[in-house]
Amino acid sequence: MPLLHISLRAGKPVAYRQAIFDSLYLAMRDTLDVPEGDQFMTISEHDATNFRYGNAFGIMRRDDLVLIQITVFNTRTTAQKAALFRRIAELLGKSPGIRPEDVFVNVIEAAKENWSVGHGLAQFA
């Protein structure tokens, strides 16, 4: 039950943003065993004055940088997360054409009892 928040510079066309959604969903299906139809994602667009980044770790980023934060159950292995990072960079490179240097991913893990997916219930507790 991943929850994704994606941030990028404003101005990309709808097809570009939809390709990001599609690529991220496929990457999660391929590496995290996410069920079909499990798509809870938002994209936030920011103008240049509200989107700052650096070239930390010697990675030369450009304005096409995409910041991806994924919140998941705390049941994923290190190997699964590493595979996810690789697959995201690969798929976003293909569609919509984002350089691997411009793909920044952060995974946040939360215990199952911290989730309510509707009806005010703790479905996984």
Catalytic residue check, 2? yes
**Quick one: three-class SS letters along 80-120?**
HHHHHHHHHHHHHHHCCCCCHHHEEEEEEEECHHHCCCCCC
Widest Cα–Cα separation across the chain: 46
Burial class (CB in 10 A: 0-12, 13-18, 19+), 37: exposed
104: tokens are 């920044």
Query: Which member of 2, 13, 35, 96 is catalytic?
Result: 2
Q: Which residues are designated catalytic? A: 2
